[in-house]
Amino acid sequence: MQTRRIGPFEVSALGLGCMNLSHAYGTPPARKDAAAVLNGALDAGITLFDTAALYGFGANEELVGELLAMHRERIVLASKCGMHGVDGQRVIDGRPETLRASCEASLKRLRTDVIDLLYLHRLDARVPVEDSVGAMAELVRAGKVRALGLSEVSAATLRRAHAVHPIAALQTEYSLWTRNPEIAVLQACRELGVAFVAFSPLARGFLGGRLRDVATLEPKDIRRAMPRFAPDNYAANLKLLDGFEAEARAMHCAPAALALAWLLHQGEDIIPIPGTTRLAHLHEWLAAPQLTLDAGTLSRLDALINRHTVSGPRYNSATQAEIDTEEFAN
């Protein structure tokens, strides 16, 4: 497995997003299947594991802590604070006292004395980012966290936060069908020396090519509330897959590996963190760091799937109001 840098850490070029194992995409897998995914990632040389207090309202951190504690020195463990479950509801809370308490709870669930990379999961519009990051910086000084990150924030917010404490990583959705980081935040990361961690790099499963009928999604699958997965939009988006899968066949790889290879080619500072509930899917990804895409392939992929060809915004209006990332003008 090739490696890339996040702050003081050398990590695998692909990380593992652990959310799917406990949260958001319908019924979580059985524990043995989740264990197979985590152990398979370790065996494949993946060293960056990404979880959050929100995922399963603590259940994902408990799962990761239980299954990876014996491998703690082999991995870079990332988690998130500032968005968690309260009485069964998702709450954004960036107050310093909340972040301190969240970190303590995460440390216990993860069965570790220190979190390598702690992200502010969402910007709390009621709390200056300087206050939230200032509290997280105190956790670094206390030896409970090694490096700080931000999730779903704008370039301006990144700069404000970085002025308080060095930010090692910024995490935002990035894939062929979500190009928002290209507006400003990628450039800001590069100016400040901040690694870019790409979540949902397979377009929430779309680029894997297996989801053909959104009616099969479970009732609690978060994609049911995402405009791109609304029946009419998804029917239009499916038409993009024929050309994409033809490119994958030409490269003799799975569509998921091609999607990740495209991301890896966007810069040495980009680390995708795909997630899955199935070991077989993880094995499909592993070719991505070894794939070399020539200029013609990159150009065709860019022209095929981009913000102009994809139907529907990535979030509904209520979710969009909660995030700080830049949006393209209509």
Tens-place pLDDT, residues 188-238:
999 999 999 999 999 999 999 889 999 999 999 999 999 999 999 999 999
Are the beta carbons of 96 and 135 closer than 8 angstroms?
yes
Residue 96 reports pLDDT greater than 90: yes
Grade residue 24 by pLDDT with cuts at 50, 70 and 90.
confident
pLDDT band of residue 94 (cuts 50, 70, 90) is very high
Residue 219 confidence (pLDDT): 92
**pLDDT over threshold 90, residue 88:** no
* 311, 237 contact by CB (below 8 A): yes
Mean pLDDT throughout 306-327?
Answer: 94
Nearest CA to 206 among 170, 166, 232, 234?
234
pLDDT at 229: 97
Query: What residues contact residue 172 under an 8 Å CB cut-off, 6+ apart?
Result: 151, 152, 153, 180, 181, 185, 196, 197, 198, 199, 325
Per-residue model confidence as pLDDT tens digits over 256-286? 999 999 999 999 999 999 999 999 999 999 9
* pLDDT for 257: 97
pLDDT, averaged across the chain: 96
Which residue, 229, 201, 205, 203, is CA-closest to 215? 229
Contact 202, 227 (CB under 8 A): no
Residue 1 has pLDDT above 90, yes or no: no
For domain 3-205+256-291, the CATH class is alpha beta
CA 236 to chain CA mean position, Å: 25
Query: What percent of the chain clears pLDDT 70, i.e. is strictly above it?
Result: 100
- pLDDT bin (cut points 50, 70, 90) of residue 86 is confident
In 3D, which of 78, 67, 112 has the Cα closest to residue 9?
A: 78
Residue ranges per domain, the chain? 3-205+256-291
Active site residues: 55
pLDDT confidence of residue 54 = 95
